[in-house]
Amino acid sequence: MNTSPHDLAAAAASRLAAWIAEHAPEGIVVLTGAGISTASGIPDFRSPGTGLWETLDPMEAMSLASFSRDPEHFYRLAMETWLPPILAAKPNPAHFALAELEAAGYIRSVITQNIDGLHQAAGSRQVWEIHGNVRESECLRCGYRGKLDLPAWSAPPGASPAGPPALPASSRPDGASGPPALPPRCPRCQAPLKPAIVLFGEPMSPAFTRAWEAAREAAAMIVVGSSLQVAPAAYLPDLARHLVINNLEPTPADERAELLFPAPAAELWAAVPPLLGLSG
Ligand SMILES: [Zn+2]
């Protein structure tokens, strides 16, 4: 007797849905990482072979030191490499499923290591973005926060991190020719605005403290698309009495997990809401 991949996937979704229904009354929080957003077209820069990160060192491109040293270069490099796929991304079925489960009371909140804002875009309300959100900006001098406004931009074909900046002159707000207005500046004090994300070399955000409390108050946690390699987020599953892990690769917390789903998040989660009587 053969079991088709489709049957196996359906069985996995059923086990996950049953676990969620069982543990929802004790409180479930969900911890998400890059793996939930790969189906939205955002490369996971920790997985080998994604191309971009073999030519660009994320520790350099996304560090406080590089932003502080030359904010214009920081933005030009970002807009030619890691930023456009994030700004263009749309939520996938896993994001929508989590939003639907929250609205129906099955999960309390989402803690995310991602900076893409896709949980909110899918409709999640209680989201702790422990590494910040790239759609927002902050001023390190005066504390101003606001939307991150960048010139309209799409990477030219074959753009490489080492290539010359090629931003269109028409993106200057004053319409004049010449290089566009980078970096964006604080409307209050004119200092360069930093994307509101936790760069390498910065302390954790206050959201991490709130996330820690949310995880401590809930009895159960589901990890989605995180290999749990990055501290301190990697310690959050230690707070859960009941743990489920959905990640393609093994994680250090696997042996504590009651259920393991080494499946693509978007495929697994798309099937869950209908199994709980939701529209899906
Ligand atoms: Zn300012």
> Which tens digits make up the pLDDT trace of 257-266?
999 999 999 9
Q: Residue 31 is which amino acid?
A: L
Please report the pLDDT score of residue 60 as a whole number: 78
In the chain, CATH 3.30.1600 sits at 44-88+139-153+167-197
In the chain, CATH 3.40.50.1220 sits at 1-42+91-131+204-280
Tokens 């491109």 locate to 61
Tell me which of 23, 95, 119, 131 is the catalytic residue. Answer: 131
Mean pLDDT of the chain: 87
Distance between Cα 186 and ligand 1 center (Å): 5
Distance between Cα 209 and ligand 1 center (Å): 25
Q: Which fold has domain 44-88+139-153+167-197?
A: SIR2/SIRT2 'Small Domain' (3.30.1600)
| DSSP state at residue 263 | S
Distance between Cα 139 and ligand 1 center (Å): 5
The CATH architecture that domain 1-42+91-131+204-280 belongs to is 3-Layer(aba) Sandwich (3.40)
Instruction: List beta partners, residue 241.
Output: none
Around ion ligand 1, residues with a beta carbon closer than 5 Å are 139, 141-142, 144, 186, 188-189, 191
Are 74 and 265 spatial neighbours (Cβ–Cβ below 8 Å)?
A: no
Cα-flanking dihedrals φ and ψ of residue 225, to 5°? 70, 30
> Rounded distance, CA 273 to CA 263, Å?
17
Distance between Cα 258 and ligand 1 center (Å): 48
Choose between 266 and 280: higher pLDDT: 266
Over residues 131-147, the pLDDT tens digits come to: 999 999 999 999 999 99
Distance between Cα 192 and ligand 1 center (Å): 8
Indicate if 242 belongs to the active site. Answer: no
